[in-house]
């Protein structure tokens, strides 16, 4: 039996608790990796947003020029002599008969009047300075009359205003008054003729030469083209345009005189000057006014060298050759649309396939005739990335001949807006 005093009690040893896993450290590691991944993704997403959007580009679809459609006018040119026809501000309707200098008879007086009025300008209705007929000038009248010249009666000491003297030159085509005016202006006929030729050179009348202020001398020669150049300049002088449009005038000594140009007042004709000699035949420089689209347009032409046995026949033939030209020009000049409202004139390409169009907001019209070349220009401001639909944006203009441009506004098509953030991110992938 064992002794109780010596009995040894052995206490049970509890088991060791299991080791704790490092959950906190693992979570921190995972969280860090996720943060890095998200940051990298954010950088990838933000990267394309850092770059500025490219500006929209505009591509023109409208041609730089066009020809007015239709059949070009057929001008009924005279069968003989020379002719030229021009529309002020628009250009030439053509010429016929070549460009060789020929005698021009009293058409030379257009230059005489032009030189006088450029050196002694007159306003509308003004009479200007006075000139007195000398005894020698009056004494020459009987001999001039015997030669069959075109004249106005004068007397020694008779006083004419500048306007009256010009009326005598331009209406009944007075040779003697052309010489009187020349001497009054330049001191001598020779000095005045030099002024006439200098002026012709300044105006670019390369095939023109004057030998006298009246045109009686067949040495005064020109062409239809050159005379149209001069007539266009002369008709810009108010006093000249007033005088040549008159059918008659009252002068000292001579009384009432009539305009030799019987076309004045018919078919819109407002001048300018007749001429006739055996060497020159029947000649006429003319101007007419056509009303088109609310505008007054001047047609200027010249017909030279129409045959005939005497002045009445020559003038009748030149008038008959001129009337069809005037009427043809009047019928040819009309209003033509060159761009219609709604016509596309340009496309706009924005970033990432965004875009719109630009079109005419209203009709753009010009005055002219079929076959005429028209220049088309556009002024389109820089296009922003955001542009509403049907927004006014620029203008289109057209130029026909030498006229000032006419314009019409432009508008956008569909709304132009920048691509969304998501579209930019997707496009970068």
> Which residues are known catalytic residues?
106, 109, 173
Alpha-carbon distance of 392 to 407, in angstroms, equals: 14
How many Cα atoms sit within 13 Å of 50 on the Cβ side? 6
Alpha-carbon distance of 384 to 350, in angstroms, equals: 9
Q: Is 268 helix (H, G, I), strand (E, B) or coil?
A: coil
Report yes or no: 222 and 102 within 8 Å, Cβ to Cβ: yes
Report yes or no: 137 and 151 within 8 Å, Cβ to Cβ: no
First-to-last C-alpha distance (Å) of the chain: 92
Alpha-carbon distance of 411 to 346, in angstroms, equals: 10
DSSP class of residue 18 equals: P
The DSSP-derived string for 290-331 is EEETTEEEEEEEEEEEE--SSHHHHHHHHHHHHHHHHHHHHH
Compute and round to an integer the Cα radius of gyration of the chain: 44
Q: Tally the residues of the chain.
A: 429
Calculated CA dihedral for residues 403, 404, 405, 409, nearest 10 degrees = -130
* Strand-pair category, 82-87 with 130-132: unpaired
Distance of CA 269 to the CA centre of its chain: 23
Report yes or no: 150 and 257 within 8 Å, Cβ to Cβ: no
φ/ψ of 336, rounded to 5, equals -125, 130
- The pair of structure tokens assigned to 426 is 């997707």
Report yes or no: 317 and 282 within 8 Å, Cβ to Cβ: yes
């Amino acid at each position: 039996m064992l002794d109780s005093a010596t009995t040894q009690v052995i206490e049970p040893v509890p088991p060791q608790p299991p080791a704790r896993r490092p959950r906190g450290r693992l979570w921190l590691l995972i969280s860090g990796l996720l943060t890095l991944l998200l940051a990298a993704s954010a950088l990838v997403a933000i990267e394309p947003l850092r770059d500025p959007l490219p500006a929209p580009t505009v591509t023109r679809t409208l041609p730089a020029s066009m020809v007015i459609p239709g059949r070009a006018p057929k001008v009924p040119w005279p069968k003989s002599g020379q002719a030229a026809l021009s529309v002020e501000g628009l250009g030439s309707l053509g010429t016929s008969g070549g460009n060789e200098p020929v005698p021009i008879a009293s058409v030379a007086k257009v230059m005489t009047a032009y030189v006088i009025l450029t050196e002694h300008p007159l306003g509308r209705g003004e009479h200007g300075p006075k000139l007195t007929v000398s005894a020698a000038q009056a004494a020459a009248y009987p001999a001039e009359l015997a030669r069959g010249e075109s004249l106005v009666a004068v007397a020694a000491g008779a006083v004419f205003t500048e306007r009256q003297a010009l009326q005598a030159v331009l209406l009944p085509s007075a040779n003697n008054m052309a010489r009187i005016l020349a001497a009054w202006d330049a001191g001598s006929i020779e000095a005045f003729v030099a002024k006439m030729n200098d002026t012709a050179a300044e105006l670019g009348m390369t095939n023109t030469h004057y030998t006298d202020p009246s045109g009686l001398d067949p040495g005064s020669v020109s062409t239809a083209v050159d005379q149209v150049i001069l007539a266009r300049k002369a008709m810009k002088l108010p006093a000249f345009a007033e005088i040549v449009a008159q059918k008659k005038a009252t002068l000292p000594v001579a009384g009432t005189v009539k305009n030799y140009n019987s076309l004045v007042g018919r078919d819109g004709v407002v001048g300018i000057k007749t001429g006739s000699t055996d060497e020159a035949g029947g000649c006429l420089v003319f101007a007419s006014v056509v009303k088109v689209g609310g505008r007054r347009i001047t047609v200027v032409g010249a017909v030279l060298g129409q045959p005939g046995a005497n002045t009445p026949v020559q003038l009748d033939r030149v008038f008959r050759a001129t009337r069809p030209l005037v009427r043809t020009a009047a019928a040819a000049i009309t209003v033509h649309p060159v761009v219609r409202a709604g016509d596309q004139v340009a496309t706009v390409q924005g970033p990432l396939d965004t875009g719109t169009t630009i079109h005419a907001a209203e009709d753009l019209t010009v005055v002219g005739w079929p076959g005429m070349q028209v220049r088309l220009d556009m002024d389109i401001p820089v296009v922003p990335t955001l542009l509403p639909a049907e927004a006014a944006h620029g203008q289109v203009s057209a130029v026909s001949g030498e006229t000032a441009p006419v314009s019409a506004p432009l508008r956008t098509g569909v709304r132009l807006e920048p691509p969304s953030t998501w579209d930019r991110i997707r496009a970068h992938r």
